[in-house]
Amino acid sequence: MAISIDAPEINRDYMLQKAGYTFTFLSDPKLETIRRYDLVHEGQGENGAGVARPAEFLIEPSGTIRWRLVTENLFVRARPEEVLEAAKVLQ
């Protein structure tokens, strides 16, 4: 799943329909959940608003974070094989 500061309509219209993502997108326009994970990039959004830092997590059902990648660059993402390898190590 993904958490975005964008409104549900934007997530649905762009991320799911136009971009073709098939996983769940949750909206957090007030940055409440994003802030709890310490992922707010203050002042980097429109009119100096905070935005979410790019991040990826492997989280256990109990809520324990077992692996994460947090970046400052929107274009830096873990490669699928990196995530799969991290998941294997955690088993």
Confidence of residue 33 (pLDDT cuts 50, 70, 90): very high
The mean pLDDT value of the chain amounts to 86
Instruction: Specify the pLDDT at position 25.
Output: 85
Instruction: Specify the pLDDT at position 19.
Output: 81
Q: Is the separation of the CB atoms in 17 and 26 below 8 Å?
A: no
Instruction: Give percent above pLDDT 70 in the chain.
Output: 100
Question: Domain residues of the chain, as ranges?
Answer: 1-53, 56-91
The model's pTM is 0.70
Instruction: Report how far residue 66's alpha carbon sits from residue 7's, in angstroms, rounded to the nearest whole number.
Output: 29
Q: What is the mean pLDDT of residues 61-84?
A: 86
Q: Is the separation of the CB atoms in 65 and 36 below 8 Å?
A: no
